[in-house]
Chains A and B, each alone.
Chain A
Amino acid sequence: MAPTPRFGSVPEVREGLRTVDYLADEGIAGVVYLADRLGKPVLIEGPAGTGKTELGKSVASMTGSRLIRLQCYEGLDESKALYEWNYKKQLLRIQAQRVAEEDGAAANWHDIEEDIFSEEFLLTRPLLEAIRADEPVVLLVDEVDRVEVETEALLLEVLSDYQVSIPELGTVSAHQIPLVFLTSNNTRELSEALKRRCLYLHIDYPDLEREKEIVLARVPGISEHLADQIVRIVRSLRTLELKKHPSISETLDWARTLLLLGLEGIDADQAKATLHILLKYQSDIAKATKELTVAEPA
């Protein structure tokens, strides 16, 4: 149960993530390190666009593992997440048998049954694929809060024992323990059973310095002065009560836009003109425009 650990220490994780342009803080690196050591999945929560999915991807590229991704949605079921019998192929197999019988071959029901429930007719879906992989993999279960409570139970066996039970075939256990990341936008409370099996990590908007570093790392060629102004305006916007606060990814988009426009600094007019990149609701934009241009009563 104790495979060779992937990481030696917390700072090593942090440095590794930095090389793939993901700037982790102490907490994030610590949890990734623990996930590896304890062989437990990580449940990542936080506002949209703060780099939850990106963390999974970055860890994959940092460790050189294959990334297997399961995008969750309402109505996701066993046959899309775990495995499915290729029943069209099974039907064809039975039909072929019937043709063979007409030619005089003996029909043995037991053989056929053995045959059509073999690996040949099994379609692997992401979870089973991650379990069966021989090479190191990172399994990313994205937006797990979108599936219904009942479907969540599908994940439990995989997450706690790293195995999948297929009634007709038996139990498939993992050859190696994959690193598992589950992300959630917190649109609903996840079940206790799921939470108990995971390490919990909450990623919030980064503080000013870290966000500036992120902008500098992710947007090549941006000047320090511009990056500083950008993150300060974004922080200012986050203090307003908006429907949707600007996320890190939107900050990055904005920074790229301003860079493309060839701006060295931002004044109120330019900020207003490009605000739609940061904010995605008309009411939010109206509010922000008002707040940014009208000075507060001093």
Chain B
Amino acid sequence: MIDLLAGFIQQLRAAGLPVSLTENLDAMEAVRHIPLEDREAFKYALAATLVKSNAHWKAFETVFEVYFSLRGSDLSHGSEEGDGQGDMDELLERLSSEVAAVHGGAMEALTPEQLAEMLYRALQHADEAILRALARQAVTRFAGMEPGRPVGGTYYLYRTLRNLDLDAVLERLMAGARDQADGLTPLEERLVRDEYEARIDGLRKEVEAEIRRRLVMDRGVEAMAKTLRKPLPEEIEFMHASKDELAALRRTIYPLTRRLAVRLARKRRHGRKGPLDFRNTMRHSLSYGGVPAEPKFRYPRPAKPEIIVIADISGSVAAFARFTLQLVYAISSQFSKVRSFVFIDGIDEVTPFFEGIEDITEAIHRVNTEAGSAGAGR
């Protein structure tokens, strides 16, 4: 058991998670209190002691899934293979009856059209068991996995999903819902779409897990843990970030600006106390029998500077300019006046765009669309 955990922690460290010795000991202590046959509880016990930041949760989950996927049996918890087999048999029975109801034929013999039909029905009724079986079937059929082939899991995932054509399925589901209800109000339509999207997302995750399981079987745990490693959010490079990653970055930056503002405001308030207010101190000392127990100070009156921002918003540095503007406006309470100018080859004042708008991204959007042409020096 100790060896097993030590190996797991080794993998976590390899994935870039900082795991200290104390946390290691805590984890060992924690698993003693948890029933080992409960896989979920085991996972949460490890997570609570080893992962100390939500950003690392994904990495932890991946390493956990991979590392403990095949050892299930010798840990006696969640012996997935055995249970899985039992489930599978039962499932296959249900499936074949379902299939028989539709077309009459075993799963392997299904034509792609029949498979798509089953997928459609399963998604419509949110039948998780069938969806899981379908995910397996889809991977077998479409991923084209070959043992020992040095390709990443994302490649297989892409191949499988392309063949399933989930976008078309979503459209069909929507059409089905519309027919059923004789036309939907926009609100209902949106809710139904969200529901189906969530289900399809579940299917996608199922496919991903299935591919991972097979890759682990093929290559072994240690090798897989290495290839599956995803970069942690703090390691993303600004210039090469994808759209999702940029959104994540923005979310990280937003509290940062607020934090700066709070901190500066606090420095102003407490950092430099005003001079001693002798009168006030004496007046208060009366209540302590003439002893000046509570010194009073005058309020400081710091000077606030004016600031002028000149931002280059041409394509190559636009992302940085955006960040700077966001920062300046977050701490604008620290300045008596903020004026901002943008330029590409001519310069233009954009201060009014930021007035009375609380959503800085919208203001920046307006700068780009409305002032953009003027900024281009016409």
Contact = CB atoms under 8 A, between A and B. Distances in A.
B319 interface: no
A283 interface: yes
A91 B359 contact: no
Nearest to B289: A95
Interface stretch (B48-56, B107-115, B134-142, B366-374): B48-56
B247 A188 contact: no
Given A243-B359, A283-B359, A293-B186, A88 B247 contact: no
Interface stretch (B27-35, B78-86, B275-283, B306-314): B27-35
B336 interface: no
A295 B186 contact: yes
B193 to A, nearest CB: 7
A232 interface: yes
Interface in B20-41: 20, 22-23, 26, 29-30, 33-35, 38, 40-41
Interface in B242-276: 247, 255, 258-259, 262, 266, 270
A37 B33 contact: yes
Contact of B33 (A38, A189, A201): A38
Given A87-B293, A243-B359, A38 B26 contact: yes
Interface in B159-199: 171, 174, 185-187, 189-191, 193-195, 198
Contacts of B48: 27, 30-31, 34, 42, 199-201
Contacts of A45: 54
A27 B41 CA distance: 7
Contacts of B191: 229, 232-233, 236
A295 B293 contact: no
A108 interface: no
B288 A91 contact: yes
B127 interface: no
Contact of B45 (A9, A30, A229, A298): A30
A241 B258 CA distance: 18
Contacts of B45: 30, 34
Given A26-B44, A31-B44, A196-B22, A293 B359 contact: no
A8 to B, nearest CB: 11
A298 B171 contact: yes
B44 A75 contact: no
A201 to B, nearest CB: 6
A243 to B, nearest CB: 6
**A interface, how many residues as a size bin?**
35 or more
B265 to A, nearest CB: 9
A31 B291 CA distance: 53
A27 B57 CA distance: 13
A45 B54 CA distance: 8
A196 B52 contact: yes
A119 interface: no
Contacts of B22: 196-197
A10 B41 CA distance: 8
Interface in A213-231: 229
Nearest to A9: B35
B362 interface: yes
Contacts, number: 127
Contacts of B54: 45-46, 186, 202
Contacts of A46: 54
B26 A200 contact: no
A291 interface: yes
Contact of B255 (A92, A187, A199, A298): A187
A38 B29 contact: yes
B255 A186 contact: yes
Nearest to B256: A188
A271 B187 contact: yes
Given A37-B33, A208-B198, A292-B186, A283 B358 contact: yes
B122 interface: no
Nearest to B262: A74
B226 to A, nearest CB: 25
Interface string A258-272: 000000001110010
19 contacts: A27-B47, A30-B34, A34-B30, A40-B26, A43-B52, A45-B54, A88-B288, A91-B293, A92-B289, A196-B20, A196-B22, A200-B47, A200-B48, A200-B51, A202-B54, A202-B57, A268-B187, A281-B358, A283-B358
Interface of B: 18, 20, 22-23, 26, 29-30, 33-35, 38, 40-41, 44-45, 47-49, 51-54, 57, 171, 174, 185-187, 189-191, 193-195, 198, 247, 255, 258-259, 262, 266, 270, 288-289, 291, 293, 357-359, 362
Given A37-B30, A202-B57, A281-B358, 17 more contacts: A10-B38, A26-B44, A27-B47, A30-B44, A38-B26, A45-B54, A95-B289, A186-B255, A188-B259, A195-B52, A199-B49, A200-B51, A235-B194, A236-B191, A239-B194, A241-B247, A243-B358
